[in-house]
A and B are shown apart, each in its own frame.
Chain A
Amino acid sequence: MAADLISAELRRTSLYETHRAAGARLGPFAGWEMPVQYAGVIEEHLAVRARAGIFDVSHMGEIHIDGPDALTAVQRLITNDAARLSVGRGLYTPMCTPAGGILDDVIVFRTAERGYLFVVNAGTRERDLTWIRAQAGAAAVRDASDETALLAVQGPSARAVLEAATGVNLAPLLPFHLRGGVAIAGVDTTLMRTGYTGEDGFEIACPWAAAPRVWAAVVAAGGPLGLMPAGLGARDTLRLEAGLMLYGNDITEETTPLEAPLGWTVKFDKGEFIGREALITQRTDGPRRRLVGFEVADRAIPRQHCGIHVDDRRVGEVTSGTFAPFLRRPIGMGYVPTDYSTAGTELNIEVRERMAPARVTRLPFYRRPRG
Chain B
Amino acid sequence: MDVKTITFILNGVTQAALLFVLGSGLTLAFGLMRVINLSHGAFYLLGGYIGYAVWTASGNWYFAVIAAALSIGIFGLIFERFMLSRVRGGDLPETLLTVALSMIIADVCLSIWGGHSKSLTAPPEINPSVSIFGVTYGGFRIILMGVAVLIAVALWLILYKTKLGSAVRAGVDDRETVSALGVNIDITYMLVFVLSAVLVGIAGVLGGTYLQLSPGSDTTILTYSLVVIILGGMGSLKGAVVSSLLLGQLLSFGSAYASQYLMFLLFIPMAIILAIRPQGLFGRES
Pairing of A with B: no
**A residues near B, CB below 8 A?**
none
B residues sitting closer than 8 Å to A (CB atoms) are none
